[in-house]
């Protein structure tokens, strides 16, 4: 199953075969929950763009929109990965 969320000008994808089906920045293996958790830990957008040079400021903006629209999904993913 391939679901796409189309915020502003970019794309956040969910595909069961990539990143365990977690929402991720399109054409990457960077899950939205990873970016959200990094933000919770104090990383700025500039820090994230430096750490993940394959994504753009638009990608980050789309990730934040997705996370805001799906807070339960993102928190669950963070919790699952803290245990792992």
Predicted structure pTM score: 0.80
pLDDT tens, position by position, 40-50: 999 999 999 99
Q: Is the pLDDT of residue 54 over 90?
A: yes
- pLDDT of 84 reads 59
Token pair 């994230």: residue: 48
Q: Is the pLDDT of residue 57 over 80?
A: yes
Token pair 């089906």: residue: 21
């Amino acid at each position: 199953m391939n679901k796409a969320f189309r915020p502003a000008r970019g794309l956040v994808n969910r595909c069961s075969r990539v990143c365990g089906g977690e929402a991720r920045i399109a054409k990457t293996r960077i899950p939205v929950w990873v970016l959200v958790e990094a933000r919770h830990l104090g990383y700025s957008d500039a820090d994230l763009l430096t750490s993940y040079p394959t994504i753009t400021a638009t990608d980050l903006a789309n990730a934040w929109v997705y996370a805001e629209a799906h807070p339960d999904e993102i928190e669950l993913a963070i919790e699952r990965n803290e245990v792992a």
